[in-house]
Amino acid sequence: MRYRESGSLDASGVRDTRGRGGLRGGRGVAVGGGGLGLVGLVVVVLLQVLGGGDGGSPAGAFSGLGQDQTVDNSTLEENCRTGADANESVECAVVADVESIQDYWSGLLGERYARTETVFFTGSVQTSCGGATSGSGPFYCPADQLVYIDLTFFDQLREQFGAQGGLFVDAYVLAHEYGHHVQNLLGTNARVTPGESGPTSGSVRLELQADCFAGAWAHHAETVPDESGEPLIADITDDDIDRALDAAARIGDDYIQENLGSGTVDQEAFTHGSSEQRQRWFRAGYDSGDPSACDTFATDDLG
């Protein structure tokens, strides 16, 4: 995958709270917490569910950021102007991903889709869903409707989880989080009981649907037009898809439990779905390109 060189980036989709010159500065801050804080994408489904429905106003969104978290997008605006920049820099790539993903959902849902930002942080962050550290991985907070990410997660995904990684994998991570935003907008969260777990739990269904939504975006990523009418993303290859599937497998509950947790698989503790399920639902979205193929709440067969 690559970004169209002349594509124009819009850094307003991102809020940079990393401090001046914070280009990937936060290495080493990945706080694991008690053994396994790093449950990969969206630990905060719990928070997500607890966060509940409202919080849609811009004022509400801003109140999510703690006082010590100043937004300063000047470095991003300076550095991330074109698709060529996105090809060179991870943070610019994320700016482009956020743009492409939201262009897709806007096109599909029209006024039902409300654009929202991704917050870059290092180490820890205050949100309307409470405080979080990098160790939790990227997450979506429904109460302020923002996606949060410490970009060092992409390194962690390779180094700790052993994923192959790559630009498309990073985009998949973002697309998964925006999948949670779509669920929030559509009221799907309400179908999940806070704190539940298990192989057919609402939590797992919500996560697998977010994977499927990510796949649906990926299916259209090369054609969805940006503001200029051209797609931002080009050349998604079979290798990219393989890498996304590889990443999906490494953030499956069973993989994490076996390799980064207790060493034993406990299905009753599943919150995100098994490796195989996560792959299957990403594929379901990718192959069909149709979010209506992602109704994980309607099926008895989650894979």
**Which residues form the interface with Zn ion (CB under 5 A)?**
41-42, 207, 210
Nearer to Zn ion, 219 or 278 (CB): 278
- Least gap, CB of 271 to Zn ion (angstroms): 9
State which residue, 47 or 224, has the beta carbon closest to Zn ion: 47
Closest to Zn ion by CB, 207 vs 246, is: 207
Minimum CB separation from Zn ion for residue 176, in Å?
Answer: 5
Query: Are the C-beta atoms of residues 52 and 143 closer than 8 Å to each other?
Result: yes
**Cβ 180 to Zn ion shortest distance, Å:** 6
233, 1 contact by CB (below 8 A): yes
Q: Least separation, in Å, of the C-beta of 15 and Zn ion? A: 20
Nearest residue to Zn ion, using CB?
42
Q: How far is the CB of 137 from Zn ion (least distance, A)?
A: 9
Q: How many angstroms separate the Cα of 226 from the Cα of each of 15, 91, 97, 168, 181?
A: 20, 18, 11, 18, 20
Rounded to a whole number of angstroms, the minimum distance from the CB of residue 233 to Zn ion is 22
CB of 154 to Zn ion, least distance (A): 16
Comparison of 4 and 181: residue with beta carbon closer to Zn ion: 181
For residues 50 and 56, is the Cβ–Cβ distance under 8 A?
A: no
Question: Which residue, 11 or 46, has its beta carbon nearer to Zn ion?
Answer: 46
Closest CA to 30 of 117, 132, 105, 135: 135
- Nearer to Zn ion by C-beta: 41 or 302? 41
**Cα separations in angstroms, 21 against 97, 119, 150, 170, 224:** 21, 16, 15, 22, 32
Nearer to Zn ion, 10 or 276 (CB): 276
Q: Which is nearer to Zn ion, 176 or 219 (CB)?
A: 176
What the block records as the tokens of 70 is 């100043």
| Min CB(80)–Zn ion separation in Å | 25
Strands 124-127 and 14-16: unpaired
Smallest distance, Zn ion to C-beta of residue 278, A: 10
Q: Please, which residues bridge with residue 126 across strands?
A: 131
Cβ proximity to Zn ion: between 165 and 179 the closer is 179
